[in-house]
Amino acid sequence: MNSENINMMLMKEEMKSKMTAWLLAYFLGFFGAHCFYIGRNKLAWAILLTFCSFILSPIAIILFLYSLFQVNTEISNYNRRVLIKYKNKG
């Protein structure tokens, strides 16, 4: 197996799935799971912490809805960065 094939395999393993992100958003979205998955940790923590506080739940809903609009864009940007990283290696 040559280095190009190895790089291709590593690249595919590192890329994120939009389907996984959407499933996480659907089932665990109010806990910020989809944001953790796509690497938006600050937003994920904001959703998680505000959702856990009963008083701040409306803010969590707003953050959750905002994050839903960002899922496809964030996954595409992440995968594009991975692709560039492995193209520069090869």
Domain map (residue ranges) of the chain: 19-89
Beta strands in the chain (DSSP E): none
Q: pLDDT 10s digit of each residue in the chain, 90 long?
A: 677 788 888 888 899 999 999 999 999 998 999 999 999 999 999 999 988 887 788 888 899 999 999 999 999 999 999 999 888 876
Task: Please tell me the predicted confidence (pLDDT) of residue 69.
Answer: 94
Token digits of residue 4: 């190009």
Q: How many CA atoms lie within 13 A of 1 on its CB side?
A: 6
Specify the DSSP class assigned to residue 31.
G
